[in-house]
């Protein structure tokens, strides 16, 4: 193919009508060793296209950086798509939502209150321009007219639900074309008249996002775009989960009927998600519409391919539907075997505070400030920070009040735990016992809001910290580099890993780091059972599995097979509350209870 264009009614490949049958895969949510497997399974389901977002904040964790190796090797991912005979749709944002931390926007950018997000504000546009120029340098050589797989590029993302700055959209289009992107440009919005009007430009192809009432919603899209191909660029065949809620599933037959209606209408489709994968590390986002709801680590999404890339009942029904409308090959994925099941001791390695103090120094702040600095002021964009102040003795109990908690604060006083203040409970106060000494806070970011007006908000303790109404001053902070601490645990002598169970404590009292060692006959997907643990995060052989929490609904962490190895493997756990000193691996995932 040498040209891909938008025709009067269809997409055109070298002038011939073609329908895009696409599935969404997010390359950072899949181990690179599994990229080809997921693309092949997409083709085996009958798809001809792969769609992905580009995650700005993951590629650029600090200003002036742009990481493109490992799971961020966008070029290699797109090359694999092309090698497997598939087209590609790229959605570089700059905002992506995607239940991803901060909607993909770098926290170092949103931390500046002078930056006007997602509009034609000079500081924001300068950062966006630098980002997009870098991304387009990677994408442009992979366009279809240069022998690559890329056939569409999206401008912004669901912009009509957020803003109406047409100058901003024009700027993005002009920059995109200036950077050598020649394929058709699209926008996507929910099929609401206001959103469709605000979120696009006449020269762009509008597409829609929905999961139900396909015929009706395609009609709404057509009413706002009289010519060009119809496309549902996000066909929601599942949904995401929040900690403390249920695991979402959608009815297989209902989803299959909607997909059939879409294809019967002649529309192109992008199945969101074909395979959701995992928000590895601390990349999952959150929602806040009055109550803060952090998103779980698993991005299974009840997709046709589950979190481990295994075909589900939805996969096979979608394949049957697609076969009614397009050729589907004879090859199918091989059945997946259960994962190995076993358990090993989880051995204490170091207390979190001791480990953090061994790798970083306490930062002192202005003695007069009435609150510790936020994570953003510390340029610590994800995770944990310890903050302390000295409190004078008193012979009575006192009330500790925090201005606002974002998102969770565990409190110790004079070396003893006092309690936890949680944002999702709107907690702001607790009682300290009589006496004096060190007031210690473990402040935890649980994921930045990825959708709506709270996008870009700072993390940490906001507003004054008061004790019986009097400001607490003299704060210092210790940034916790969780990935570094996990690596240091692996560097330490491992003789204690062979300790008999009788020598292990009855419980691991957090916050603490622990380690387990296990052997495998060969690389294998694993499911780490977290039911007997409190809350924290885990790594296997240095690969960041993500957060776990006894609150559920998710009760297993997915371990990608390519992250494991033949022979000895290492698990590191950072537990913040308390856990049984056992690491248990189970044959199947457990993503929790459903609404039914």
As annotated, the active-site residues are 158, 234
Question: How far, in Å, CA of 591 to CA of 94, rounded?
Answer: 31
CA distances from 562 to 94, 300, 543 (A): 30, 18, 10
Cβ–Cβ < 8 Å for 76, 33 = no
Q: What DSSP character marks residue 284?
A: B
Helix, coil or strand: residue 4: strand
User: For the CA atoms of 258, 263, 268, 272, what is the dihedral angle to 10 degrees?
Assistant: 30
Residue 202, token pair as written in the block: 């006449």
Residue 545, token pair as written in the block: 């599995």
> Smallest Cα–Cα separation from 448: which of 110, 131, 36?
110
394: preceding bond cis by omega (within 30 degrees): no
> Which segments of 221-285 are extended strands (E)?
231-236, 268-275
Question: How far, in Å, CA of 15 to CA of 10, rounded?
Answer: 10
Residues 6+ apart with CB under 8 A from 333: 40, 41, 44, 310, 311
H helices of 56-119, where? 56-59, 74-83, 107-110
Burial of residue 126 (CB within 10 Å: 0-12, 13-18, 19+) is exposed
Question: How far, in Å, CA of 449 to CA of 407, rounded?
Answer: 11
Phi first, then psi, for residue 564 (nearest 5°) are -105, 175
N-to-C CA span, the chain: 47
Q: How many H helices and E strands in the chain?
A: 12, 34
Question: How far, in Å, CA of 556 to CA of 173, rounded?
Answer: 43
């Amino acid at each position: 193919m040498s040209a891909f264009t938008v025709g009067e009614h269809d997409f055109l490949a070298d002038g011939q009508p073609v329908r895009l049958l696409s599935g969404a895969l997010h390359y950072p949510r899949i181990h690179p060793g599994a990229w080809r497997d997921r693309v092949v399974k997409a083709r085996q389901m009958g798809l001809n296209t792969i769609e992905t977002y580009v995650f700005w904040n993951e590629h650029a964790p600090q200003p002036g950086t742009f990481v493109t190796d490992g799971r961020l090797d966008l070029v290699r991912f797109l090359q694999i798509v092309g090698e497997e005979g598939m087209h590609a749709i790229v959605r570089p944002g700059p905002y992506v939502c995607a239940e991803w931390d901060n909607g993909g926007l770098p926290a170092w950018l949103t931390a500046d209150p002078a930056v006007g997000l997602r509009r034609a504000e000079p500081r924001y546009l300068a950062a966006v321009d630098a980002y997009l120029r870098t991304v387009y340098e990677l994408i442009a050589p992979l366009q279809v007219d240069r022998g690559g797989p890329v056939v569409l590029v999206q401008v912004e993302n669901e912009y009509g639900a957020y803003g109406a700055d047409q100058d901003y959209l024009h700027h993005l289009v002009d920059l995109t074309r200036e950077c050598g992107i020649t394929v058709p440009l699209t926008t996507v919005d929910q099929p609401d008249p206001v959103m469709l009007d605000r979120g696009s430009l006449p020269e762009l192809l509008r597409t829609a996002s929905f999961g139900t009432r396909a015929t009706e919603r395609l009609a709404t899209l057509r009413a706002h775009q009289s010519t060009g191909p119809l496309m549902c660029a996000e066909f929601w065949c599942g949904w995401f989960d929040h900690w403390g809620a249920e695991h979402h599933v959608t009815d297989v037959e209902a989803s299959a009927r909607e997909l059939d209606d879409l294809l019967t209408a002649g529309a192109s489709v992008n199945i969101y998600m074909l395979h959701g994968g995992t928000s590895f590390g601390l990349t999952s986002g959150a929602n806040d519409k009055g109550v803060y709801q952090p998103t779980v680590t698993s991005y299974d999404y009840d997709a046709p391919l589950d979190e481990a890339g295994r075909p589900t009942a939805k996969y096979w029904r979608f394949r049957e539907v697609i076969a009614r409308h397009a050729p589907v090959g004879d090859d199918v994925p091989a059945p997946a075997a259960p994962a190995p099941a076993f358990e090993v001791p989880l051995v204490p390695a170091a207390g979190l505070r001791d480990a953090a103090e061994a790798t970083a120094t306490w930062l002192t702040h202005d003695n007069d400030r009435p609150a510790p600095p936020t994570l953003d002021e510390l340029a610590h964009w994800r995770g944990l920070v310890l903050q302390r102040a000295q409190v004078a003795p008193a012979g009575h109990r006192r009330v500790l009040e925090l201005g606002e908690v974002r998102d969770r604060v565990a409190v110790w006083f004079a070396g003893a735990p006092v309690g936890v203040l949680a944002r999702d409970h709107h907690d702001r106060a607790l009682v300290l016992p009589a006496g004096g000494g060190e007031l210690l806070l473990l402040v935890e970011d649980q994921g930045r809001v990825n959708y709506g007006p709270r996008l870009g908000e700072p993390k940490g303790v906001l507003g004054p910290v008061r004790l019986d109404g009097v400001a607490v001053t003299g704060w210092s902070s210790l940034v916790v580099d969780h990935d570094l601490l996990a690596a240091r645990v692996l560097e330490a002598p491992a003789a204690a890993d062979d300790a008999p169970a009788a020598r292990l404590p009855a419980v691991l009292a957090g916050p603490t780091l622990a380690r387990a060692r296990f052997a495998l006959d060969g690389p294998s997907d694993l499911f780490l059972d977290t039911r007997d643990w409190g809350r924290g995060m885990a790594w296997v052989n240095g690969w960041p599995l993500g957060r776990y929490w006894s609150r559920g609904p998710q009760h297993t962490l997915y371990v990608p097979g390519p992250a494991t190895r033949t022979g000895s493997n290492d698990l590191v756990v950072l537990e913040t509350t308390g856990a049984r000193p056992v690491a248990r691996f189970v044959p199947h995932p457990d993503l929790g209870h459903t609404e039914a």
